[in-house]
């Protein structure tokens, strides 16, 4: 009897699967009509790759799958549509009986071993005034940065979530503002990019009654996806478990982690991988309060790759070398402290990260909006930093443990400055009161009585030194 029950349950499960499952198929060819083999294809849940004829076939569950899409190989161009990386996906049409979806790729004339990657955290515009600031400040600055590489290297930009601040009607003008930048844009979904009226799709059985990501998808496509440029595999991955009514938990969840595991199964171990998320995974300050809760599961999945995680969400700047092959950049927000002024909660200026890629080698610098590229630290004279009134204080926002921050007094070297944790004075002055977020990229030194001049030298992991002089 027990065996009969198990058998009937199995038949019922198969019947339910057949009721919802369907086959999507198609081909991937180059512009000359030749088939492209080994292109990874997914519906957001299941994966396959094209055969020697460039063909694929994929069982998909129409209850939840909205797109069929590819991971563009590095031998082929990332084609921008009005500035955005949008040619890699096609919506699944439930009324399309044939379910055939074909893709065409343009082969590169030469490999893109060298390229520039701009990681931009939290534009988070609430109204037209903030959108104007983003357009006239951030985007103008990014265009100036991109112009330095024009004709020499391709420039890509990844927006790390919170494109808007719960204002879905701003998706379209924001998207259009980046249409003619000469930069290929790709997005990550943030908590404020979800529709407050619904819960996340990962918490639902189907899409019938609406889901929180639908409006975002209508403008930007799938929220978990990947593509390849040069020797780098680039991933956008959701790590916000949205409940409803602005309630959420920073978490990948099983669907996202399964997607990541499947995507990386097609990538050679040891490859350099850029994983772009909204919420950070490995922060140490602020008690790690904004971190994705399933960080250890994530870490186990990526352990065989050379990974850079790019994150936003916190509106402060923090770098962490988590392991020899795992580095997280929690980047200062483009909007700083929600467009309140010119700095983030940690005192890092509004800005974005400029990553220069050469093969598998990665080099980065933070670019402060409206400032020269060598603006990498802010120095306070004695008396300006209220909690350390007798000290010269330096805020070195891109700091990690490989940096050296040293000082000299009247031409005599004094060695390393003392690192300390505190709240940045510039942020306190802008905010009007302390918030009690303590950053760890502050350094101080105490000049001698009668000293006339202090020089600060901050040297990053790439051997580049930035200097500022303080006349006492």
Nearest to 428 by CA among 324, 366, 337: 337
Torsion angle, alpha carbons of 166, 170, 176, 182, to 10: -30
How much is the pLDDT for 9? 45
How much is the pLDDT for 150? 87
Does residue 27 contact residue 15 with C-beta atoms inside 8 Å? no
Nearest to 400 by CA among 315, 322, 347: 322
* CA 103 vs CA 31, 71, 81: distances in Å: 10, 11, 15
Residues in the chain with pLDDT values less than 70: 1-21
Nearest to 200 by CA among 214, 187, 188, 186: 214
Helix (H) or strand (E) segment spanning residue 191: none
How much is the pLDDT for 20? 53
Does residue 108 contact residue 148 with C-beta atoms inside 8 Å? no
**Cα–Cα distance between 113 and 107 in angstroms, integer?**
15
Rounded to 5, what percent of the chain is helix, strand, coil? Answer: 20, 35, 45
- Could you tell me whether strands 247-250 and 272-276 are parallel, antiparallel, or unpaired per DSSP bridges? unpaired
Nearest to 116 by CA among 421, 292, 358, 318: 358
**Cα–Cα distance between 218 and 61 in angstroms, integer?**
19
DSSP SS3 for 383: coil
**Cα–Cα distance between 58 and 48 in angstroms, integer?**
7
**Cα–Cα distance between 246 and 244 in angstroms, integer?**
6
DSSP SS3 for 130: helix
Nearest to 187 by CA among 212, 211, 210, 218: 218
* b/e sequence 84-106, b meaning 16+ C-beta within 10 Å: bbbbbbbebeeeeeebebebebe
DSSP SS3 for 65: coil
Q: Token digits for 293?
A: 């809760």
Nearest to 187 by CA among 178, 196, 199, 200: 178
Q: Tokens 């350099």 map to which residue?
A: 272
**Cα–Cα distance between 115 and 136 in angstroms, integer?**
25
How much is the pLDDT for 2? 41
Residues making up the chain, counted from first to last:
472
The angle, 0 to 180 degrees and rounded to 10, between the axes of the packed helices 295-302 and 253-264 is: 10
How much is the pLDDT for 12? 40
Q: What backbone torsions phi and psi does residue 443 show, to the nearest 5 degrees?
A: -135, 150
Q: Token digits for 261?
A: 């595991």
Residue 226 neighbours by CB distance under 10 Å: 26
Q: For the chain, how long is the longest CA-to-CA vector?
A: 95
**Cα–Cα distance between 155 and 150 in angstroms, integer?**
8
How much is the pLDDT for 179? 87
Does residue 427 contact residue 404 with C-beta atoms inside 8 Å? no
**Cα–Cα distance between 42 and 90 in angstroms, integer?**
11
**Sheet holding 21-30: strands in order across?**
55-61, 21-30, 103-105
């Amino acid at each position: 009897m027990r065996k009969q029950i198990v058998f009937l349950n199995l038949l019922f499960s198969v019947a339910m699967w057949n009721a919802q499952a369907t086959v999507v198929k198609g081909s991937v060819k180059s512009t000359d009509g030749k088939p492209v083999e080994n292109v990874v294809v997914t519906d957001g849940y299941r994966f396959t790759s094209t055969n020697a004829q460039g063909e694929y076939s994929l069982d998909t569950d129409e209850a939840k799958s909205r797109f069929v899409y590819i991971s563009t190989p590095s031998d082929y161009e990332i084609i921008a549509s009005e500035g955005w990386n949008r040619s890699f996906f096609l919506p699944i049409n439930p009324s399309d009986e044939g379910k055939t979806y074909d893709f065409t790729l343009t082969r590169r004339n030469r490999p893109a071993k060298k390229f520039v990657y701009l990681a931009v955290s939290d534009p988070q515009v609430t109204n037209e005034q903030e959108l104007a600031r983003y357009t006239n400040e951030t985007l103008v600055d990014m265009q100036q940065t991109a112009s330095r590489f024009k004709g020499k290297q391709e420039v890509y930009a990844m927006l790390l979530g919170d494109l808007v601040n719960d204002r879905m009607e701003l998706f379209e003008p924001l998207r259009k503002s980046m249409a003619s930048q000469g930069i290929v844009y790709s997005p990550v979904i943030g908590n404020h990019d979800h529709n407050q009226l619904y819960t996340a799709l990962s918490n639902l059985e189907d899409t019938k009654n609406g889901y929180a990501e639908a409006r975002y998808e209508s403008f930007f496509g799938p929220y978990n996806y990947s593509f390849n440029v040069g020797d780098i595999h680039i991933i956008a991955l959701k790590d916000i478990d949205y409940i409803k009514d602005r309630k959420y938990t920073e978490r990948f969840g099983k669907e996202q982690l399964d997607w990541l595991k499947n995507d990386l199964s097609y990538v050679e171990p040891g490859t350099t991988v850029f994983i772009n998320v909204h919420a950070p995974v490995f922060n140490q300050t602020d008690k790690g309060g904004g971190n994705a809760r399933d960080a250890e599961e994530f870490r186990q999945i990526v352990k065989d790759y050379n990974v850079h995680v790019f994150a936003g969400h916190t509106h402060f700047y923090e770098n962490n070398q988590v392991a020899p092959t795992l580095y997280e950049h929690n980047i200062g927000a483009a909007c700083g402290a929600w467009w309140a002024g010119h700095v983030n909660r940690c005192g890092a200026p509004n800005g974005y990260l400029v990553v220069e890629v050469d093969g598998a080698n990665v080099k980065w610098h933070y670019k402060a909006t409206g400032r020269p590229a060598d603006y990498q630290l802010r120095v306070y004279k004695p008396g300006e930093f209220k909690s350390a009134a007798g000290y010269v204080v330096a805020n070195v926002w891109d700091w990690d443990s490989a940096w050296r921050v040293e000082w000299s007094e009247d031409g005599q070297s004094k060695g390393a400055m003392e690192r300390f944790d505190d709240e940045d004075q510039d942020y306190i002055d802008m905010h009007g009161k302390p918030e009690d977020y303590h950053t760890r990229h502050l350094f101080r030194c105490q000049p001698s009585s009668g000293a006339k001049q202090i020089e600060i030298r901050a040297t990053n992991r790439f051997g580049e030194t930035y200097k500022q002089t303080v006349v006492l």
